[in-house]
Chain A
Amino acid sequence: MLLNTPTQLPNVQNKILFQSEKIYTVLIVILLIWIGIIIQLLLIERKLKKIEQKYQEKR
């Protein structure tokens, strides 16, 4: 009976993160980093916009 006990959940291999030797996990990790960098760029953009507005007001 012990020999027949599964060591993994049966549906685990079907999940995206576990497909193709788990390469999608690496892609998701890279995507997360991209999103993080883009958020930082957007924050810089917002800061720059504020300065531009201030400059326009002065003129």
Chain B
Amino acid sequence: MLSYTIIAGLTLHLPQVGDLEQTSRNLFFHVPMWFTMYLMMFISVVASILYIAKEKTELDSWAKESAITGIAFGIMGLLTGMIWSRVTWGQLLPDTDPAAWWSWDPKQTGALAAIIMYLAYFVLRNSIQEETKRAKLAAIYNIFAAISLLPLTLIIPRILGGLHPGGEEGSPVFNTQDISAHYRIVFYPAIIGFMCLALWITEIRVRLFLIHQKLTEQDESYATEYSNPIT
């Protein structure tokens, strides 16, 4: 699906949209980054809620690893957006002007704030040594972070408007009037493809973490057994 996205995304004949020229193809690469980030943050918060209820280490691991993948896709979304905005919103400005790269658009700023908020989740995790306490506090923080994600990246930008499409007029992604069928045949597979990739990466990370934890536990039980002469 991703191979199809890259090949069709670069070669398909697309109707021109305003002065975007060929950059309208970025729709297939920049926007799925955000969809993927939302999915990963959703998985992360569901895992956190389940952890609070069941207290299984595996769930905490899913929450952590999903957030890591989500942040990675969020950062890629920010960087690709900066490059795209350079040739659209900032095309009349020189390279040396920071406004050519960063417009402080409500959605852009909200996305940056959301990523910083999730980075704080890892600062919190790293600041607590005790495993259960760390997992519980991180889970609670994660729920608040997920709740804040929606107003920061969806509700406030829609109220304030701004440079991104999808302000007051509604979502351009799901509005059939805004994206032609030419774009849809690449755009939707792109979203599914990047989401599957992120899920795969996260699942591998969780599996590795669990193996690492099992090996550490075995080490500890071995050390305890031979350090206690009574047993």
Contacts and interface: CB of A to CB of B under 8 A. Distances in A.
Interface of A: 7-9, 12, 15, 17-18, 20-23, 25-26, 28-30, 32-33, 36-37, 39-41, 44, 47-48, 50-51, 54-55, 58
A44 B69 CA distance: 11
Interface of B: 6, 9-10, 20-23, 25-26, 29-30, 33, 69, 72-73, 75-76, 79-80, 83-84, 86-87, 91-92, 94-95, 197, 201, 204-205, 208-209, 211-212, 215-216, 218-219
28 contacts: A9-B94, A12-B91, A15-B95, A17-B87, A21-B22, A22-B20, A22-B21, A22-B22, A25-B23, A25-B83, A25-B86, A26-B22, A26-B25, A29-B26, A29-B84, A32-B79, A36-B79, A40-B69, A41-B201, A44-B205, A47-B208, A47-B209, A47-B212, A50-B212, A51-B208, A54-B212, A58-B215, A58-B218
Given A17-B86, A22-B22, A32 B208 contact: no
A37 to B, nearest CB: 7
Nearest to B82: A32
Contacts of B25: 23, 26
Interface of chain B: mostly helix, strand, loop or mixed: helix
Contacts of A30: 6, 10, 29
Contact of B91 (A18, A48, A51, A55): A18
A51 B215 contact: yes
Given A26-B25, A29-B26, A33-B76, 15 more contacts: A9-B92, A12-B91, A12-B92, A15-B95, A17-B86, A17-B87, A22-B23, A25-B22, A25-B26, A26-B23, A29-B84, A30-B29, A32-B76, A50-B212, A54-B212
A33 B201 contact: no
B204 A44 contact: yes
Given A12-B91, A26-B10, A32-B83, A48 B208 contact: yes
A47 B208 CA distance: 7
Given A29-B80, A32-B80, A36-B76, A20 B91 contact: no
